[in-house]
Amino acid sequence: MDFDFNLYSTPLLFGFVQGWVYALLFWVRAWRQERLSDALFGCLLAACTFEIWEYMLGFGGVEILWRELEFFPRSFSLLLPPLAYLYLKSQFNAEFRLHRADLRHALPFLLYAGYHLAVFVQGAAFVAYWKAAVHQPFGVEYAERLCSVGVQVLYFYWAYRLFRDYQSWAPSQFSDTEAVSFTWFRNFLLAFLLSNLIGWGMTLVDIWLDLDFWHDWWDELFNAGLIYYLGIAGYAQSQPRRLHFEPDPDPAMPAAARPEKLSEAELLLWKTKLEELMTAEKVYLEPELTLADLAQRLHTNGSVMSAVINGAFGKNFNDFVNTYRVEAVKQLLRDPAAQHLSFLGVGLECGFNSKSTFNRAFKKLTGLSPGEFRQHPGQE
């Protein structure tokens, strides 16, 4: 069985091999570090490779899928959306585990695979009869496509809602939100949305223009590129700390942890304790400070701390800590002895973990960029 390396088959072959290499890397890391998210991501990459292997083999002149394996369930497109959704859940909550009930996510794929296997095992002659008499005339083929689109839309909505709730929750828990990978999770969702849009677009164009095999290729090339991006960017992505986020089951309540209700006296007492801690120990200078860290130092829990910060200061945890950091930055920028420091150096000295986070927080709380403030320290 010779494979024809040409302009069409070779890029897809590289994407296919790349996907399996990184899938193995993710599975090894999952085993070593006991990370369910890596195991799921490896499965997702492996499933992606089966989205391009039909065209890869076809352009390479290998026709086993259309001869010996005709009608065999060879696509995992119905598993991709659930895998993407479960990957996000496992990243956002280190305690998330798969249970028997989660098999419902695989139900559309299992129905598809069971139907195709039931026909396939009857032999090649029956497959040809079934396709001509039932599968195509009764629109089963189009029903499968519509089911795939429905699953993609549904799971993208669930994944987007999960990510949105996570974005609302993280600033109430972390002083450095960049460390919990907003950018990667957002790009991950956008990549899959774009892949689906391109796939749907090519399907419509194919139906309209009746494209032949050689012209119906561009979405496959994009998927090969997607495998490269997901494999390289996903593996190189610094892993966020072990998160413990679960969406609030009450849709009327924001996803941030519900703070406890405190009396005015309790609120004032905890406010005083918190201000003393921030001023005396300057814990805001710790770049990875979390709400749980503050609660531990004051011998209470995160719910009480959240109530104090929200009720007494009218801020979320991220803005509360950054207020202290920005004040420290302003003092340093006014200090003639610190004029030799770069803006990044100033930000790092005051507890920020990156230049972008520093610039964004400073602009938000002062209305000025660090450069504008240094030139006109009395302008604020």
Report how far residue 76's alpha carbon sits from residue 49's, in angstroms, rounded to the nearest whole number: 9
Would you say residue 77 has pLDDT above 80?
Answer: yes
Instruction: Say if 246 falls within a structural domain.
Output: no
pLDDT on residue 239: 67
Report how far residue 342's alpha carbon sits from residue 216's, in angstroms, rounded to the nearest whole number: 53
Residue 322 pLDDT class (50, 70, 90 cuts): very high
Would you say residue 243 has pLDDT above 90?
Answer: no
Would you say residue 254 has pLDDT above 70?
Answer: no
Instruction: Say if 277 falls within a structural domain.
Output: yes
Same domain, 220 and 284: no
Report pTM. Answer: 0.84
pLDDT tens-digit series, residues 300-310: 998 899 999 99
Apex 177 CA angle, 182 and 307, nearest 5 = 125
**pLDDT (average), residues 217-227:** 89
**pLDDT (average), residues 174-181:** 80
Same domain, 215 and 93: yes
Instruction: Say if 336 falls within a structural domain.
Output: yes
Report how far residue 231's alpha carbon sits from residue 247's, in angstroms, rounded to the nearest whole number: 27
pLDDT tens-digit series, residues 10-64: 999 999 999 999 999 999 999 999 999 999 999 999 999 999 999 999 999 998 8
Instruction: Say if 191 falls within a structural domain.
Output: yes
- Bridge partners of 93, per DSSP, are 244
Same domain, 21 and 72: yes
Same domain, 23 and 79: yes
Report how far Cα 2 is from the mean position of its chain's Cα atoms.
Answer: 39
Would you say residue 316 has pLDDT above 80?
Answer: yes
Instruction: Say if 173 falls within a structural domain.
Output: yes
3-state class (DSSP) for residue 65 = helix
pLDDT on residue 126: 96
Same domain, 226 and 362: no
Instruction: Say if 81 falls within a structural domain.
Output: yes
From the CA atom positions of the chain, what is the Rg in Å?
Answer: 27
Same domain, 171 and 291: no
Is residue 18 a contact partner of residue 231, using CB atoms and an 8 Å limit?
yes
Instruction: Say if 94 falls within a structural domain.
Output: yes
Same domain, 219 and 350: no
Q: What is the CATH number of the domain that holds 357?
A: 1.10.10.60
Residue range of the domain that includes 368: 264-375
121 CB burial (10 A radius; 0-12, 13-18, 19+): exposed
Residue 354 has, within 13 A of its CA and on its CB side, a CA count of 8
Same domain, 72 and 166: yes
How many structural domains does the chain have?
2
| Amino acid, res. 163 | F
Same domain, 224 and 98: yes
Report how far residue 6's alpha carbon sits from residue 60's, in angstroms, rounded to the nearest whole number: 7
Same domain, 51 and 189: yes
Same domain, 189 and 44: yes
Residue whose entry in the numeric block shows the structure tokens 């629109």 = 139
- Own/partner contacts of 337-344, CB < 8 Å, gap of 24 or more, are 343/370, 343/371, 343/374
pLDDT tens-digit series, residues 102-138: 999 999 999 999 999 999 999 999 999 999 999 999 9
108-122, 235-249, 261-275: segment of lowest average pLDDT: 235-249
Among 216, 236, 256, identify where a domain stops. 236
Same domain, 189 and 45: yes
Instruction: Say if 245 falls within a structural domain.
Output: no
Q: Which of 351, 90, 69, 368 is nearest to 376 (CA)?
A: 368
